[in-house]
Every structure is written in C-alpha cells, then in structure tokens.
Amino acid sequence: MSSPTRVLVLNSGSSSLKYQLLDMRDSSRLAVGLVERIGEQTSRLKHTHVTDGDTREQNGPIADHEAALKAVAGELSRDSLGLDSPELAAIGHRVVHGGMFFTEPTLVDDEVLTEIERLIPVAPLHNPANLTGLRTARSLRPDLPQVAVFDTAFHTTMPESAARYAIDPRIADRHRIRRYGFHGTSHAYVSRETARLLGKDPAEVNVIVLHLGNGASASAVEGGRCVDTSMGLTPLEGLVMGTRSGDLDPAVIFHLERVGGMSTDEIDTLLNKRSGLFGLCGDNDMREIRRRVDAGDEAAKLAFDIYIHRLKKYIGAYYAVLGRVDAVAFTAGVGENAAPVREAAVAGLEGLGLAVDAGLNAVRGDGPRLISPEDARVKVAVVPTDEELEIATQTYALVEKNSH
C-alpha cells in the first residue's frame, strides 16, 4: 500500500476546536469544521465535507475538548474520513507558545508535553487548551504521529538585540521574559508566498509582513529568517488590534493601579479585551469602522487614524531594521480585505519607494497579488494567509523525513 498522505490539523482554543483534514498530494481540503462554546450548554459543531459540499451541524452541550474531538471524529467517520483511516499520516497541532525551546515542528512525546506544560505561565490562555487537544488526540490514536507546530518557532531566529527587553537579564532569564512573537506560521507562510509572487528564492528577499486580523502583528523577514516582530512576551505588544492596546508606556499600568485603583486582573482584561479599536470606538470589526468613518463618525475616525499611525511606525521601523526592503505584504482578515487600510498605511511613504496603485488595490481577489505600481521600487502585495496549510505542510514534511 502507498504511504498515507492525509493530515488532520487541530487548533484548540480555550473554548473552541477548529480542524481541517488535508490531502498533501495536492494540498486539498477534504473536511473542515469548528466546535464552538465547548463546556457550555449551547455548544455547536459545524462540519463540512468539502468534496460533497455537505455541511452538518450538531447543537447541544459538549462538555470538554475530549468530547469535542470525539464528536469531530464521529463526523469524519460519517464521511469515511475517520481517525482510524489508514490514509491518515499524522495530526498536526497548533501550539501557541513554544518558548525558546521549540525552534521547529516537533514530534510529540511525553517529554514534549511536559515542556509545553512548563510554558503555561507565559501562555496561560493558550497552552492549556493546546495541551488538552494534544493529549486527547494521542489517547484516540496513540500509534499516530502527532506533531506540534509552534506560533513562536519562526521568530526564534531573532537576534538577541531584538528579542531582549532592556531589563536586568538575570531577572528576565529567571522569569523567561523576552520577546517571543506570535502568528509565526502565518509570517513564515506569507513571507515565502511573497517571494514566490516576486518569482524569487525566499533567501534573496526581504519582506515586511503585516498580519492584520483581530489580533495583529508585523514582522521583518530577512532572506526567509525573522529578524524582528511586533508581539513580545505575550500577544499584547505592538500594533493596535481588535481588542488589544498594543504598545503603551508600561507606566500606564502602574498609574491605573495606583491612581485608578484597578487590580492587575482588571488591567489585564482592559488591555487585552477592552482596548484597541473596540476600546477606542466600541467596534472591533474593520468593516463596521469603515462604514462609520464614511458616515462621518468622529470616534471611528480617531480609532482608524490611531490604528494606521501605529502601522506606519512599524513599517518605518522594520524598513530601518532590514535596510533594504523588497516587499511589504498585507495578510489576514483586515490586510486581505480592507483596501482603505492598505492605502492609508502606505500613503506618504513614496520617499521609501512604497506606493499603492488605487485601481489594483480596489480589486478583490482570492490569491496573492501585487497592488503597487509596476515600476515601484518596493512591491506592495496582498497575500492571503493559510495557517492550516502551513501546519499541515510542516507536519507532513516531518513525518515524511522520519519515515525515510
């Protein structure tokens, strides 16, 4: 029998489980789905068998991630794509925090699980859910390779000058405080796809990647290696996001505590969940914000302007970090869809060789495309991200390598 070619990708959030089953012969999707509100009475599983275009929903309580994965396995079995299929080569898991320890995709064993567990203090929201997903999948198919693909791995090439905060290194090391960066699978995929769009080898190309989704981060990628990124110890640092503040003077926190009388947990919630675009104007969806801006809403306009100002600062900063830039790539929900954001972020940067062609920018499309004028010194691109495909590709490559 020929070797198995399917990879199941699992992305376990605190109360959700997203999954995709891919066939790596042609990177096609066989099934995709999502379990939401795990642990509540109103859980929902939405499953699509891509080949048939058939979508099914299950509503009703799903107690935990184990029950969720069992329900997913049941749906896959109904489509003859079950976890027991001999065509399944591996399960690839998104793991948010790999610290400094995990620099590449890793075959999961007990030791790896222990190390991911040790990182919980620096990723309290994400790593516990990722671990549950890993453990459950292992218990369902103990014989199958399970691969952890880390959001932080792509950023482990950052030099110490970019990765360290300017604090006492003994304190930093004791508490594992450094800039780890996130969205790494997306930055890796998009920087590579941008090189491909330019018809060049990734090793020859310097790219600024702007991953603008509900969470947002920028990265400076030099010849395929990340040399700086905007998220830090946690995903709170950097750009203005849907609900996160991004950069601020750390003394704001002391001030809120001492003068505002807020607790550490309250400030954490404020900065992570009630700030950013949402905190500024009450909306975190860029579509709604643009609608309000176009209708003359002042708060939405200020939120948009602050968002763009920060973005522009990072483009300039990463231009300086890289020295030479071949392309700026926009990706994720906002980056792929919001033409006004792309236009405003690049406006006035002609001196850096950056410009957007209004006509090309306005065209909607699914694939990677250039939106800069033909003679532009620095290309501006829209490159749709595909984190699931990247996780599947990395997972399959590791399994293939180990089988030879």
Catalytic residues, by residue number, are 151
Q: Scanning the structure block, which residue is given the tokens 């990677």?
A: 368
Does 84 carry a binding-site annotation?
Answer: no
Under the binding rule (CB under 6 A), the answer on residue 240 touching ligand AMP is no
Does 18 carry a binding-site annotation?
Answer: yes
Under the binding rule (CB under 6 A), the answer on residue 287 touching ligand AMP is yes
Under the binding rule (CB under 6 A), the answer on residue 16 touching ligand AMP is no
Closest approach, Cβ 395 to ligand AMP, in A, equals 22
What is the number of alpha carbons within 13 Å of residue 155 lying toward its C-beta?
33
Q: Scanning the structure block, which residue is given the tokens 């100002």?
A: 309
Closest approach, Cβ 288 to ligand AMP, in A, equals 8
Closest approach, Cβ 336 to ligand AMP, in A, equals 8
Number of residues that bind ligand AMP (CB under 6 A): 12
Q: Based on CB atoms, which residue is closest to ligand AMP, 287 or 377? A: 287
3-state helix, strand and coil shares in percent for the chain, rounded to the nearest 5: 40, 20, 40
Under the binding rule (CB under 6 A), the answer on residue 285 touching ligand AMP is yes
Closest approach, Cβ 329 to ligand AMP, in A, equals 14
DSSP 8-state assignment for residue 404:
-
Does 181 carry a binding-site annotation?
Answer: no
Q: Based on CB atoms, which residue is closest to ligand AMP, 137 or 216? A: 216
Does 255 carry a binding-site annotation?
Answer: no
Does 206 carry a binding-site annotation?
Answer: no
Distant-in-sequence, close-in-space partners of 348: CB < 8 Å, separation ≥ 6: 312
Closest approach, Cβ 404 to ligand AMP, in A, equals 36
Distant-in-sequence, close-in-space partners of 302: CB < 8 Å, separation ≥ 6: 280, 281
Does 337 carry a binding-site annotation?
Answer: yes
Distant-in-sequence, close-in-space partners of 87: CB < 8 Å, separation ≥ 6: 4, 5, 6
One character per residue 300-339, x = contact with ligand AMP (rule: CB under 6 A): --------------------------------xxx--xx-
Helices and strands, counts by H and E, the chain: 15, 14
Give me the amino acid identity at 52. Answer: D
The rounded distance, in Å, linking the Cα atoms of 206 and 348 is 21
Does 155 carry a binding-site annotation?
Answer: no
The rounded distance, in Å, linking the Cα atoms of 29 and 50 is 7
Q: What angle do CA 1, 389, 8 make, to 5 degrees?
A: 50
The one segment of 73-81, 123-131, 280-288, 347-355 that binds ligand AMP by CB under 6 A: 280-288
Under the binding rule (CB under 6 A), the answer on residue 239 touching ligand AMP is no
Answer for which of 108, 286, 327, 392 binds ligand AMP (CB under 6 A) is 286
Distant-in-sequence, close-in-space partners of 373: CB < 8 Å, separation ≥ 6: 355, 357
Closest approach, Cβ 287 to ligand AMP, in A, equals 4
- Mapped to the 3 state alphabet, what secondary structure does 160-212 carry? HHHHCCCCCHHHHHHCCCCCCCCCHHHHHHHHHHHHHHCCCCHHHCEEEEEEE
* Burial track 145-162 (b if 16+ CB lie within 10 A, e otherwise): bbbbbbbbbbbbebeeeb
Closest approach, Cβ 267 to ligand AMP, in A, equals 24
Answer for which of 99, 184, 242, 276 binds ligand AMP (CB under 6 A) is 242
The one segment of 65-73, 198-206, 279-287, 394-402 that binds ligand AMP by CB under 6 A: 279-287
Does 44 carry a binding-site annotation?
Answer: no
Answer for which of 214, 257, 267, 272 binds ligand AMP (CB under 6 A) is 214
Instruction: With H, G, I as helix, E, B as strand and everything else as coil, classify residue 116.
Output: helix
The rounded distance, in Å, linking the Cα atoms of 324 and 115 is 38
One character per residue 135-174, x = contact with ligand AMP (rule: CB under 6 A): ----------------------------------------
Q: Which residues carry a binding-site annotation?
A: 11, 18, 94, 211-215, 285-287, 333-337, 387
The residues of the shown chain that bind ligand AMP, judged by CB under 6 A, are 213-214, 242, 284-287, 332-334, 337-338
